[in-house]
A and B are shown apart, each in its own frame.
Chain A
């Protein structure tokens, strides 16, 4: 990272400019799977954000201790610990969400947003910046999920915030169970897989449009950090090639 960014910039870049789902196209699998209902994606977003912040902090704190050659297994151990904690909490307090998210909750371990931020940011930056980065990216992820799930749930099944009481129950509120029967004839395809891809495409196009309107480039395509395969290729080529590329971009 050649240029120093303020903490606010580290935070805000995750919302639109480097939104993990819509701009970096990471974490597509949980995005498509959980955006069927707003409640599910809210739960998914919060769980992933907590794991992201915690793992970013720990990995950033340990970045000088972790040997670079085995950093990926080390990151996975850290991330997996937090995912296990979050999953236990969800099982204890929001069992309905645990059932709804199913396998996608433990799969946060291999969520490429979290691993990607660990590799691209937390492994190179100080603790506070990493925590802020994790918060921004997590909110960006949740934000993208909420937009997509709102479109899909309202049009696809004619309800909004259906089953939200399973989440608000934690705070003792169970009276509100969401809006139902908004549409008399919902467009069923939107809650199926093809509808998920359609909505994903359109929301992504919209995010590109907004980011371009702000004078940003189409997507950040320089250096290993922007590459979605960064963690995979750096495993194969060791870290020399990646470091040299980073140095090149610094020299520029």
Chain B
């Protein structure tokens, strides 16, 4: 007894953080709420329906697949399936048939996540993998819905997707302000930059994500687009706000499982994402490269981790050992 307290002897780790998986995932859900509201305001109640179906299916697939096929403990309580469902829905157009959403949820949860071992084991972000799966499978995925014109007094918005400044001529483009508040065509959650930034700032303040990946990602895109646009800042702003770049940089590239742990690795990851996004947007024949660039860097993450592993205290680098041996 020391100062009236019992002393406990336990094995390491001795320093414990209060953060839990469910707490972190709950924070992500809270951060996604502004975008959820924005998507309903911009695209109508149909957006809410798609989001509800996606989240419900993800949670149910996780529950039933783990219970009846893997016969392992239940993990829906950690909210990770709900987050996947919400982010997946944000990547879809609001007019998508609901059965396609169910297939997307199945692919994300059962094939990408649970078949590789569940939370913390998936090698790519489930929501992005499902988006790409659906993009390659269904032409319907590319029919981005128009914003609800009667709700917000706007004119001249076309159902255009992806890197709009590249695929549309300048008079068809929504204004920068409309871009910022999301009054444009696109998938449900990616259009409203203001709401996404709000969620991102909340996550950074809560310490859930490090700003390294979003900043290095969008910074790389900005620099490359500034060069490609010959110094035109309007072009850079359009590039940053169009497509799924902000959604991808804040919510998908920062996924714990599929992004590097250390700061140096995170910066490499972000720069890589930005580089591939720009390459696909500028030289590829696809309208948008965010999901492909993130999934590519997801796959490279183990290699990034390998080169950014810090040297344990007191050890000598292998090269030096070899030189010393000579």
Determine whether the beta carbon of B136 is less than 8 Å from that of A189. Answer: yes
User: Which residues from A are CB-within-8-Å of B111?
Assistant: 198
Determine whether the beta carbon of A194 is less than 8 Å from that of B138. Answer: no
Interface residues of B in 126-145 (CB under 8 A from A): 133, 136-138, 140
User: Which residues from B are CB-within-8-Å of A198?
Assistant: 111
User: Which residues from A are CB-within-8-Å of B138?
Assistant: 185, 187-188
Let me know if A182 is at the binding interface, CB within 8 A: no
Nearest to B111 among chain A residues (CB) is A198
Let me know if A192 is at the binding interface, CB within 8 A: yes
Interface residues of A in 177-199 (CB under 8 A from B): 185-190, 192, 194, 198
Per-residue interface assignment for chain A, residues 179 to 222, with 1 indicating a CB less than 8 Å from any chain B CB and 0 otherwise: 00000011111101010001000000000000000000000000
User: Which residues from A are CB-within-8-Å of B223?
Assistant: none
Let me know if B103 is at the binding interface, CB within 8 A: yes
Bound Cα distance from A201 to B111, whole angstroms: 11
Contact residue range for chain B?
under 10
How many residues from A make CB contacts under 8 Å with B? 9
User: Which residues from A are CB-within-8-Å of B103?
Assistant: 187
Bound Cα distance from A103 to B138, whole angstroms: 30
Bound Cα distance from A187 to B97, whole angstroms: 14
Q: How far is the CB of B260 from chain A (nearest CB, A)?
A: 25
Nearest to B135 among chain A residues (CB) is A189
User: Which residues from B are CB-within-8-Å of A189?
Assistant: 133, 136-137
Q: How far is the CB of A229 from chain B (nearest CB, A)?
A: 25
User: Which residues from B are CB-within-8-Å of A186?
Assistant: 137
User: Which residues from A are CB-within-8-Å of B97?
Assistant: 185
Which of A187, A192, A198: most chain B Cβ within 10 A? A187
Bound Cα distance from A187 to B133, whole angstroms: 9
Q: How far is the CB of B100 from chain A (nearest CB, A)?
A: 8
Q: How far is the CB of A14 from chain B (nearest CB, A)?
A: 28
Nearest to B136 among chain A residues (CB) is A189
Bound Cα distance from A202 to B138, whole angstroms: 22
Per-residue interface assignment for chain B, residues 108 to 136, with 1 indicating a CB less than 8 Å from any chain A CB and 0 otherwise: 00010000000000000000000001001
Bound Cα distance from A187 to B138, whole angstroms: 7
Q: How far is the CB of B96 from chain A (nearest CB, A)?
A: 11
Nearest to B99 among chain A residues (CB) is A185
Per-residue interface assignment for chain B, residues 132 to 169, with 1 indicating a CB less than 8 Å from any chain A CB and 0 otherwise: 01001110100000000000000000000000000000
User: Which residues from B are CB-within-8-Å of A185?
Assistant: 97, 100, 138, 140
Further pairs besides A185-B140, A189-B136: 16, Cβ < 8 Å: A185-B97, A185-B100, A185-B138, A186-B137, A187-B103, A187-B137, A187-B138, A188-B136, A188-B137, A188-B138, A189-B133, A189-B137, A190-B137, A192-B136, A194-B136, A198-B111
18 pairs, A vs B, C-beta closer than 8 Å: A185-B97, A185-B100, A185-B138, A185-B140, A186-B137, A187-B103, A187-B137, A187-B138, A188-B136, A188-B137, A188-B138, A189-B133, A189-B136, A189-B137, A190-B137, A192-B136, A194-B136, A198-B111
